[in-house]
Structure 1
Amino acid sequence: MNNQQQIVKALSMLQLAYSTDMSVERMKLYVTMLGNINPVTLEQAVANLINKCKFLPTIAEIREECTALSAYVNMHDEVETAQTAWEKVIKVAGTYGYDNGKEHLEGITLQAAKTIWSSFDPRMGHEYNEASCRAQFIKCYEQLIDREKHRQRMANAIKDNHLLLKAREKAEHEKSLISAGQKQIEMTSTGNLVEVAKDPVDGTEII
Structure 2
Amino acid sequence: MVELIEFAQIMGYLEAVYNVEMPKERVKIYYELLKDIRADVLKQAVRNISVKERFFPTPAVIRQETIMVTQKDITVDQVIELINKAINSYGFYKSVEALEFLKEEDEKTYQIVKNIGLRNLGMTNMGVWLNCVKSMYTELREAKQNEQLLSLKFKSDINKIKMLALKNQEGDE
TM-score of the superposition, structure 1-length normalised? 0.60
The SS at the match of 1:66 is helix
For residues 47 and 40 of structure 1, the distance between their equivalents in structure 2, rounded to whole angstroms, comes to 11
What is the aligned length? 164
Change in CA separation of 1:116 and 1:137 when aligned onto 2, cut-off 3 Å = farther
Change in CA separation of 1:195 and 1:59 when aligned onto 2, cut-off 3 Å = same
Change in CA separation of 1:41 and 1:164 when aligned onto 2, cut-off 3 Å = closer
Q: 1:80 matched to which residue of 2?
A: 74
Q: 2:18 matched to which residue of 1?
A: 18
Change in CA separation of 1:165 and 1:89 when aligned onto 2, cut-off 3 Å = same
Give the counterpart letter for 1:194 in structure 2.
Q
Report the aligned-residue RMSD: 3.6
Give the counterpart letter for 1:61 in structure 2.
V
Q: State the 1:23 CA deviation.
A: 4.0
Q: State the 1:29 CA deviation.
A: 3.6
Q: 2:62 matched to which residue of 1?
A: 62
Change in CA separation of 1:23 and 1:102 when aligned onto 2, cut-off 3 Å = same
Change in CA separation of 1:83 and 1:116 when aligned onto 2, cut-off 3 Å = farther
Alignment of 1:44-193 (within 5 A): 44-69=44-69, 71=70, 76-77=71-72, 79-105=73-99, 106=103, 107-114=107-114, 115=116, 117-119=118-120, 128-154=124-150, 157-158=151-152, 161=153, 165=156, 168=159, 171=162
Q: Percent of aligned positions with the same letter in both sequences?
A: 23
For residues 125 and 14 of structure 2, the distance between their equivalents in structure 1, rounded to whole angstroms, comes to 56
Higher strand fraction: Structure 1 or Structure 2? Answer: 1
- Does the Cα contact within 8 Å between 1:116 and 1:137 map onto a contact in 2? no
- Does the Cα contact within 8 Å between 1:108 and 1:144 map onto a contact in 2? yes
Q: State the 1:169 CA deviation.
A: 7.2
Query: Unpaired segments of 5 or more residues in structure 2?
Result: none
For residues 37 and 96 of structure 1, the distance between their equivalents in structure 2, rounded to whole angstroms, comes to 40
Higher helix fraction: Structure 1 or Structure 2? Answer: 2
